[in-house]
Structure 1
């Protein structure tokens, strides 16, 4: 979109630099990324960023103004966790990069979550782009590394000893996001602990380190609670639904409360119309909508072309939405003159003492496929996968 920076990046890009890029990330984290990394960042205008911020601020306002108890309705009865919090610690919003009817590039809301994304990884990702392409330093994020680390430390560790704070995941070594766990450990000095290794004595939780039981006071939660039921023969000492003397970052209930459940309630120029499946009006045409389960992750269960037969066969219609289709615009030119489409995720943190969340970073996903998910791309394509956006003057 921004010809000056796109042209310079494409001129400087080589496949050798891309391999070096991945090697630097491996050295910094100790792991090879388990998901595809785009060869290129995304260059977006400040005008486009202002549209993103305008939509996000409106969405935040609308969430804050919802009647008390509205969000609680999203939590399945079998997934309610005690000691909920007044607000989430994380807030992420995904927008597709689209073209409006009048020809302008604009964002369109895809989904939103109060679940941690790749906060530690994205900062390192951006810095690594800048190391290999020094001209990017003039347009990099204005939040320096030390300030970023302070924000994340205050949010996740707070005043606790880092050894009493854990990053909690189920089988973390098998997760595609393991590289983010490793970088979080380096950033904060905390341990990543598998849920199967958590011990419970009364209301206190512990993990074992070097033969000693270490009490857990604060949990940086990366477990998607409702997915635990799908893991066969899972043996746990700790059930999320039990009372425990811990502080959650962020509380598991927020995974449900800030989710696609909210989409039918939101109104904005950059928010496509959405309906719960059981409330879909006859006046609308099904072919203009995408079918999405409320609590899916990484694009699972999404149907781009739902039919009446498919929707009528769904029994729990209240757990699905229909969202008006948007058209992603291929605007990111690669070295072969082909173009990629993309989504951008804004990564906010929401400290307990703050009225509003703070935008810290962004995450991009580039594609040449129908769905913007790294699993749906052809293996020989370029300018696809996880990316990062740089905002520049038009």
Structure 2
């Protein structure tokens, strides 16, 4: 992407350095169960500007006065959590790297979430790539003039706020053993907060507590990493802890309802050169005759599950709950990342932090490289030069 860095990296790459990268990433942290790619992405200024412009268009929709009204049906009734905040604290937008009619590399929106991502790990990953591969000091994963120090200050401001760190906890069902646990531990190290599994939390009245050194400590804020879609209907997991759907004396960072409001559900409302044509299936008057150019996606699914790629008219007609599906024009990824033996496809996630009472701030990014039919671990299990990565840009 920035050719001089791409050529330098490929010329100097060794398997020994790659294994050193993995070893350094895991030092002091749990093992990483997902594949880390051999290389970062070197994002050009031109692509950076397009990614920023695409995000600004999406945010303008989210900030509309009627956005909550537009997305009210996005929240499944069984997962509606009380005391929703005025705005989410996190925004993540995933773009596939494609080529436009002029042959220029351009981003196309694939997915979006009002939910946190690997905000801790991505900084750790960028730092380690730069250290192991001796990359230029001028390269950075951050936006808006942030550096590692100011980035974690902003992150802490959003997550911890005015509370003491011990009053805030990162929470997931079985947090220490999740696939993304390394992100949890990097976050806890920088922010000073606790990592708690759901069953570590005790409910008394409307208050939540955890125990440490035989002391009971009240939780004031939950940095929520629990995705209801992953639980499905298994509400038994709440029996030995608390049910998030109850009225509780606790703040959510970010509130669970935003996971649904900012999601595939939002995409039909977006009209942009960076967004593929998208329709709610139940609003379609006629089925397109060129279904080979479309993909069918369930609104409520996790990590690409349930997506129908090689689509037929019979597939469309077989859908009963049409209001829970979108039909989206396919995005053609271009193998624009040149690795030693070929080009590989890439996706870039733009990650924003939104402090209370302020504007959303683009701060860091996440990348994924792929040779498979889709981006994702299960489609790239047998390849190298694929997996999680980060975009590095020249400081201006």
TM-score, length-scaled by structure 2: 0.95
Preserved contact between residue 188 and residue 195 of structure 2 (Cα < 8 Å): yes
Alignment-derived partner of residue 78 in structure 1: 78
Bigger mean CA offset, 218-227 vs 259-268 = 218-227
What's the counterpart of residue 158 of structure 2?
155
TM norm structure 1: 0.95
5 Å-filtered alignment, 1:159-308, equals 159-231=162-234, 233-234=236-237, 235-282=239-286, 284=288, 285-308=290-313
Q: The residue matched to 1:364 in structure 2 has which SS?
A: strand
Deviations 1:309-333 (A, max 9, x none): 2222222211111111011000111
Q: Counterparts of 2:260 and 2:381 in 1: how far apart (Å)?
A: 32
Q: How does 1:1-394 map to 2 (within 5 A)?
A: 1-27=1-27, 29-65=28-64, 67=66, 68-140=68-140, 141=142, 142-231=145-234, 233-234=236-237, 235-282=239-286, 284=288, 285-336=290-341, 338-354=342-358, 356-379=359-382, 381-392=383-394
Q: For 2:149 and 2:393, locate their aligned partners in 1 and report how far apart those are by CA, in whole Å.
A: 21
8 Å contact kept, 2:169–2:222: yes
CA positional deviation for 1:227: 2.9
Q: CA deviation at 1:233?
A: 4.9
**Cα distance in 1 between the residues matched to 2:244 and 2:314:** 37
1:214-267: CA deviation from partner (whole Å, max 9, x where unpaired): 111000000012432444853333111100000100000000111110110101
Deviation, 1:393, is 9.1
Instruction: State whether residues 346 and 367 of structure 2, in contact with CA within 8 Å, keep that contact through their aligned partners in structure 1.
Output: yes
Q: Secondary structure at the match of 1:214?
A: strand
Residues 129 and 136 in structure 1, CA contact (< 8 A), matched pair in contact too = no
Partners of 2:244 and 2:5 lie apart in 1 by 48
Q: Distance in 2 between matches of 1:346 and 1:177?
A: 18
What is the RMSD computed on CA atoms of the aligned residues?
Answer: 1.7
Q: Contact conserved, 2:229 with 2:301, CA < 8 A, in 1? A: no
Q: How far, CA to CA, are the matches of 1:203 and 1:233 in structure 2?
A: 19
- Residue ranges of structure 1 left out of the alignment (5+ in a row): none
State the Cα deviation string for residues 51-95 of structure 1 (Å, max 9, x = none): 111111011112222525222221111111110000000001010
Distance 2:155 2:394 in 1: 26
Question: For the residues of structure 1 that align with 2:224 and 2:137, how far apart are their CA atoms?
Answer: 33
Secondary structure in structure 1 of the residue aligned to 2:136: helix
Relative to structure 1, the CA distance from residue 133 to residue 268 in structure 2 (aligned partners, 3 Å threshold; closer, same or farther) is same
Q: Distance in 1 between matches of 2:10 and 2:104?
A: 24
Number of residue pairs aligned between Structure 1 and Structure 2:
390
Asked whether the 8 Å contact 1:2–1:392 carries over to 2, the reply is no
Q: What stretches of structure 1 move > 3 A for 4+ residues in a row?
A: 229-233
Unaligned runs of 5+ in 2: none
Task: Provide, for residues 339-360 of structure 1, a one-character-per-residue CA deviation record: whole Å limited to 9, x for no partner.
Answer: 1101000010011111x31011
